[in-house]
Amino acid sequence: MSNDPESTDSEPTFFNHTFEETTLPKESAYAVWIKLSLSVLLFASITIILIKSNLTPNQPGVITQFQVMISVYLTMNFKKLGTLIAIVINGFQGLISLTALVVYSNPNALAGVIFSVSSIIIIFIISTCMACLSKNMEEVLIKNTKLASLNEKLAMAHNEMEQQNELLMAYNRIIKENEKKLSYQAFFDTLTELPNRNVLINRMDMLITSPENENLSFGVVFMDLDNFKEVNDTLGHHIGDLLLKDVAVKLKRVIHPDDLLGRLGGDEFALIIKRPLEKEAILAYMEKLELSLMKDIVIENKELSVSASFGFAIYPQDGHSSTELLKCADGAMYKAKNHKKLTIDL
């Protein structure tokens, strides 16, 4: 037989209901035994009255109803032990009636036999119903306990899911922020916040290859700060970075809105002039850029004077690709740097 409390092998019957347990009601054993003794004594007294007294034919039927009530009382209030006692006393009374019927040929004893058998049947029915009811209540209690446990697990799972969702949302925010940073770093210089070398080259390639710009001419200006290495070596890279940021701010203030200024790397900048300009106009434009850098810059209580060398190339006269244009403008810039001596005064 399975040890599972829900096993179908333990169907409620009178016998397992009566003899498997001896649990008494939740009160003192002394009080229980007093009630049991009084009930048995009252039942026996009624039996003696039925035997000894000369009763009218209708009186025994009325009196035996009290015995039925005593039997029901024992069965319902004292569970297994009460049921067993009720069966014993009714069986004993039935045995007395059967003896009177067989031995003494007393026809009135037949009613006593029938009464005892009927009482025992009633006790069986009540006991079985109580066993079924008790088992059903236990099953309901077990199911309620399991349901409560399941609800608790569901609540815990729901809380865990909410926590996981919050973590997932936090991870998604971090991923999106990192994607934005990576996207920004892919197109912009993080120090000066100017477009980087890739953006400048892609923009030149687009201007060159776009069918709409087939007859378009544009210029590329290459800028290099003079003696920037001395700043890094003398004052440190921190001051050099701050200087580059300040130079970027000054250049952005004077460039045309249609032009694109970017940082190629180190102390090198490039400007794409997307407007058709003559060389003289470009030279004037570069002088304007150079003048914007002439004003002394104060960085952490250090006054710096900065200058730059410029070179330019024009598409398509000086090159047919971004690489050729940058190379040409870079060469022009170095020619300008070699023909003048501009220093950074500390």
Tens place of pLDDT per residue across the chain (346 aa): 444 444 444 444 444 444 444 444 455 788 888 888 898 898 888 888 877 766 666 667 777 888 888 888 888 888 888 889 888 988 888 888 888 788 877 777 787 788 888 888 988 888 888 888 888 899 999 999 999 999 999 999 999 999 999 999 999 999 888 888 887 778 899 899 999 999 999 999 998 888 776 678 889 999 999 888 888 888 889 999 999 999 999 999 999 999 999 999 999 999 999 887 787 888 888 889 988 888 878 888 888 888 899 998 999 889 999 999 999 999 999 888 887 643 322 2
Please report how the helices 197-209 and 109-187 are oriented relative to each other, as an axis angle in degrees rounded to 10: 70
DSSP codes joined into one string, 285-307: HHHHHHHHTTS-EEETTEEE---
Separation of alpha carbons 42 and 232, rounded Å: 116
Q: Does this model's pTM top 0.85?
A: no
Whether residue 344 contacts residue 246, with contact meaning beta carbons closer than 8 Å, is answered with: no
Structural domain spans, the chain: 14-151, 197-338
* The pLDDT value given to residue 2: 42
All residues at 6 or more sequence positions from 333 whose CB lies less than 8 Å from its CB, including other chains: 222, 223, 224, 309, 310, 311
Q: How far is CA 28 from the centre of its chain?
A: 53
CATH superfamily for domain 197-338: Reverse transcriptase/Diguanylate cyclase domain (3.30.70.270)
Three-class DSSP category at 191:
coil
Longest dimension (CA), the chain: 154
Q: Beta partners for 218?
A: 315
Give CA–CA dist 14/293, Å, rounded.
108
